[in-house]
Amino acid sequence: MSSPVVLITGALTGIGRATAVAFAKEGASIVASGRREAEGKALEAELRSLGAEAAFIR
């Protein structure tokens, strides 16, 4: 595996969001989960802008 894959629930705010960003900066692939579609897609775009592979699931 070239980079770890991290699944983060509650990733849209607070500690979950900070964790997603921190792992993305370290090169992990992120699967982020949350309840709000629009905010989730925004987080997905932010993580990708940091160079991470990212996906949002609701």
Predicted local distance difference test score (pLDDT) of residue 2: 74
pLDDT in tens, the chain (58 residues): 478 999 999 999 999 999 999 999 999 999 999 999 999 999 999 999 999 999 999 9
Global confidence as pTM: 0.92
For 1-58, give the DSSP string: --S-EEEEESTTSHHHHHHHHHHHHTT-EEEEE-S-HHHHHHHHHHHHHTT--EEEE-
- Residue 3: per-residue pLDDT: 82
